[in-house]
Amino acid sequence: DTGVSQDPRHKITKRGQNVTFRCDPISEHNRLYWYRQTLGQGPEFLTYFQNEAQLEKSRLLSDRFSAERPKGSFSTLEIQRTEQGDSAMYLCASSPITVGRPNTGELFFGEGSRLTVL
């Protein structure tokens, strides 16, 4: 399977604990995005990477959240000192963006990592 994969698929944790999610994008895709989705809502942008560079972070991403893409391949999203309001589905998506060629911004999503904070 060469699609986007996320791990773990489901994480249950107690308030105050740290959690980390991993995303493996489609190998030739240089863009990687993180989104958060709560019940009944569409995905909300959190941050994105061009190769290993983090180019933008949403105001939704408090200082308890950190994301990395150290070698421009897989990415991790860490949440420190989790709160109940962090309970959501965390989605990763990748996209092939080629400089100098037309791009549409189509995203390829993983199945998501569901976080439940007790």
Partner 1 sequence: GNSVTQMEGPVTLSEEAFLTINCTYTATGYPSLFWYVQYPGEGLQLLLKATKADDKGSNKGFEATYRKETTSFHLEKGSVQVSDSAVYFCALSKETGGFKTIFGAGTRLFVKA
Residue numbers of the site for partner 1 (CB under 8 A)? 4, 31, 33, 40-45, 48, 55-56, 91, 93, 95, 97, 102-112
Shortest distance, CB of residue 110 to partner 1, whole angstroms?
6
Per this entry, what is the length of the chain? 118
Max Cα distance, the chain (Å): 47
What is the distance between the alpha carbons of residues 94 and 69, in angstroms, rounded to a whole number?
A: 12
At 28, list the tokens: 């030739």
The CA distances from residue 86 to 19, 78, 81, in Å, are: 11, 12, 10
In whole angstroms, the minimum distance from the beta carbon of 70 to partner 1 comes to 20
Give the residue with the Cβ less far from partner 1, 43 or 75: 43
Task: Kindly tell me which of 26 and 80 has the beta carbon lying closer to partner 1.
Answer: 26
Looking at the Cβ atoms of 32 and 117, the one nearer to partner 1 is: 32
Nearest residue (CB) to partner 1, 23 versus 117: 23
Q: What is the C-alpha separation between 67 and 41, in angstroms, rounded? A: 23
Q: How far is the CB of 48 from partner 1 (least distance, A)?
A: 6
